[in-house]
Amino acid sequence: MPVPRCSGPCGGVRPAALRRPRTGGAVCRSCFCNAFEAEVLSTLQTGRLLPPGAVVAVGASGGKDSTVLAHVLRALDARHGLALDLHLVAVDEGIGGYRDAALAAVRRQAGRWRLPLTVVAYADLFGGWTMDEVARRAAQEPGRARACCTFCGVLRRRALEEGAQRVGATHIVTGHNADDMAETVLMNFLRGDSGRLARGGTLGSPGEGGALPRCRPLQFASQKEIVLYAHFQELDYFSEECVYAPEAFRGHVRDLLKALEAARPSVVLDLVHSAERLALAPAARPPPPGACTRCGALSSRSLCQACALLDGLNRGRPRLAIGKGRKGLGEEGEKQSCTSKDSSGGPSRAGAIQAF
C-alpha cells in the first residue's frame, strides 16, 4: 500500500509518518509534533495555568509523561516566550530496583536540558520510612499489600510539595495524561467517591491553605500520543513498571477502560470531559477543610492523610491509617504512581507506534 502524503499544515510536502490516534488523520512527524505542542499550549492558555514569570517545579519521575511534559514546556517556553523558570523535582520513594534507575534517567535529562534538579527522599522527609519498608510493614497486615499505592501516593504528594517549596516554586506541574484522568474518574465512580469525582475534573488545584497550585498540562493528551511524541523526539526515558504496581486496583480499571476503548475509541476523552462538567449537589458538599493539627496542611480531618498514614506506621498499626471508615483514603486517591508503563496497547515505545 503506498504511504499517504501528510494531511497536516505542511500541505502534503512530506509523506505521512503516522495516523494520529486522536483525529485519525495521516500526518508527518513534524506536523504531529507541532500539533501536539500546540494542544498543550492551548491547555495552558485556556486554563491560565502558568503565568509569565512562574517558577515551575516539574514533578520528574523519569517516565514518559513527565519527560514529555518537561520537553514540551521547554520548547513552548523558548518559542513563545512564556518566561517560565523550570526546575525538575524528583521524589525518591526508596523502591529498590525501580526508582534508582528512574532517577538516573531524570539526572540525564537535567544534564541534557540544563535544568536544575532537586531530589527529595521519603527516608529523609518521613523519619526513615522508605516505600520498601512501608510495603514490608503493610504485607504483615492481611489484605493490606495492595494498599502500597495509597501510602506511596499520599506521601509523594507531600514530598513533591516539599521539594517544590525548597526550590522556591510558585507552581507544580505533573505529567498526568488523559488515560490517567479517565482511570481516576472511573475509579471514583466505582468507589462511589462523589467528592473526588466532582473535584477530579479540574485542570489542577488552585493552591489553597499554603499549598502550591498544581496543574496537569497533559490532561487532554492520550497516552498513545505521548508515546508517539517521545518516540519522534527521541526522548530518553525510563519505562519499567513499578514493582508494587501489580497489586493496584487501578490495573483492573485500566483493563476495563481498554475494553471500552475498543468499542468506543473516544471513551477516554469523553470521561475526562464528563468529569469537568460534574458538580456536587449542595447537600453533598463536604464541610470546608481546615488545617492538619500536626503539619498545618489543608485537611478535612484533624490529621491530614500523610500525617495519619505516618502516625499509623509509627505506631506499628498501618491498618489504622488505611482501614475502612477513613473515607478519602481509598486506594490511590488521585492518579498516583504504580502504573503499568506504556499501557497504550502494546509494548513500550516504538511498539505502540502506528507508523506507516
Ligand X SMILES: Nc1ncnc2c1ncn2[C@@H]1O[C@H](COP(=O)(O)OP(=O)(O)OP(=O)(O)O)[C@@H](O)[C@H]1O
CB of 179 to ligand X, least distance (A): 8
Residue 280 CA to residue 332 CA, distance in Å, equals: 21
CB of 1 to ligand X, least distance (A): 33
Radius of gyration of the chain (CA): 20
292 phi/psi in degrees, rounded to 5 = -60, 130
Binding site for ligand X (CB under 6 A): 59-61, 63-66, 90-91, 93, 156, 160, 174-176, 180, 335-337, 339
What is the number of alpha carbons within 13 Å of residue 47 lying toward its C-beta? 22
Is 13 labelled as part of a ligand binding site? no
Is 60 labelled as part of a ligand binding site? yes
Bridging pattern class, strands 171-173 and 214-215:
parallel
CB of 306 to ligand X, least distance (A): 15
CB of 66 to ligand X, least distance (A): 3
Is 90 labelled as part of a ligand binding site? no
CB of 269 to ligand X, least distance (A): 16
The number of angstroms, rounded, from the C-alpha of 223 to the middle of its chain's C-alpha atoms is 11
Is 61 labelled as part of a ligand binding site? yes
The residue at minimum Cβ distance from ligand X is 63
Closer residue to ligand X in complex, CB, 65/225: 65
- Which residues 6+ apart lie within 8 Å of 70 measured at CB? 58, 60, 86, 88, 109, 113, 115
Is 91 labelled as part of a ligand binding site? yes
CB of 102 to ligand X, least distance (A): 7
- Amino acid found at 240: E
Closer residue to ligand X in complex, CB, 144/156: 156
| C-alpha cell read off for 217 | 498540562
Task: Please give the C-alpha separations between residue 65 and each of 265, 284, 323, in angstroms, as whole numbers.
Answer: 21, 34, 31
Is 132 labelled as part of a ligand binding site? no
Closer residue to ligand X in complex, CB, 26/72: 72
Residue 336 CA to residue 180 CA, distance in Å, equals: 9
Closer residue to ligand X in complex, CB, 60/304: 60
Is 65 labelled as part of a ligand binding site? yes
Closer residue to ligand X in complex, CB, 7/222: 222
Cβ atoms 275, 263 nearer than 8 A: no
198: helix, strand or coil: helix
Closer residue to ligand X in complex, CB, 7/177: 177
Q: Which residues are annotated as a binding site for ATP?
A: 59-61, 65, 91, 175, 180
Q: Which residues are annotated as a binding site?
A: 59-61, 65, 91, 175, 180
